[in-house]
Amino acid sequence: MLHAGLLLAAATATAAAAATATATAAAGNVQMRSSAAAETIPAGSNLRPLLLLLLLLAARLQQPLGMQEVTAAATAAAKASSAAAATAAAKASAAATAARGRYVQNLVHPPRVGVLQQQQQQQQQQQQQQQRTKKQELKEQKHPQQQSRRQQKQQQKLQQKQQQKQQQQHPVKQEMEGTASLPQEMQLLLLLLLLMALQIMLRRRQQQQQQQQQQMLLLLLLLTSHNEVWGSAA
């Protein structure tokens, strides 16, 4: 009976060591991936604090944690994510306000420097363009293949002008496109942080269960040894 109890205790200790090694390896893998992702993000980005917090959680997975530390880590993750989201929203709002101000200023007070010169240049360019088109039409009458090429070039020029007009009409939309992807990335980082916190809580519960099992095994061993001693004495 004593020999069977010792074998059971050894098997339990081996299983506990294997579970601890698996959790440590998983934490190291998450830490390596997070550090590699942090190197690709610019220094001034709002995502860097969240990644650093993720690295800290991955490092702490290799050590036993209590419920207070888990709660503190989750609170710090929530504060960092909210601060990053507020900073991104403030930057986007400032950029949109500045773009609207420039757009309205250009509408109300357009630049008037060199207006006459610009009109003269435009008239000269129009005259030159008309002369070129007349010469081109004469050539195309002699060579019909050039007519299709000229039409294609005109279509391309029209498309380019339309694109330029659309870009000038929506300056706020262009400046907002650069910050549109930040909230999604921050949501992904928040999910990672929550998963890390859950993993820490699960590991803590497993450790408590393993400790309880070891205590029960020790009690059983003490009882069996006590019974054997008293039985041999009797």
Query: Mean pLDDT over residues 3-24, rounded?
Result: 49
Q: Do 47 and 189 form a contact (C-beta atoms < 8 A)?
A: yes
Q: How much of the chain exceeds pLDDT 70, in percent?
A: 40
Give me the pLDDT at residue 2, please.
Answer: 40
Cα separations (Å) of 131 from 36, 125, 136? 62, 10, 9
92 located within any domain = yes
For 84, residues 6+ apart whose C-beta sits below 8 A from its C-beta are 46, 47, 49, 50, 186
Give me the pLDDT at residue 202, please.
Answer: 85
Question: Phi/psi of residue 182, each to 5°?
Answer: -65, -45
**In the predicted model, what is the mean pLDDT of the chain?**
66
222 located within any domain = yes
Distance of alpha carbon 102 from alpha carbon 164, whole angstroms: 17
123 located within any domain = no
Instruction: Classify residue 61 by its DSSP letter.
Output: T
1 located within any domain = no
182 located within any domain = yes
137 located within any domain = no
Counting the structural domains of the chain, the total is: 1
What's CA 120's distance to the chain center, in Å? 53
Distance of alpha carbon 160 from alpha carbon 154, whole angstroms: 10
Domain encompassing residue 18: 13-104+159-229
For 83, residues 6+ apart whose C-beta sits below 8 A from its C-beta are 49
Enter the pTM of the model: 0.27
Beta strands in the chain (DSSP E): none
234 located within any domain = no
Give me the pLDDT at residue 216, please.
Answer: 84
59 located within any domain = yes
Give me the pLDDT at residue 8, please.
Answer: 45
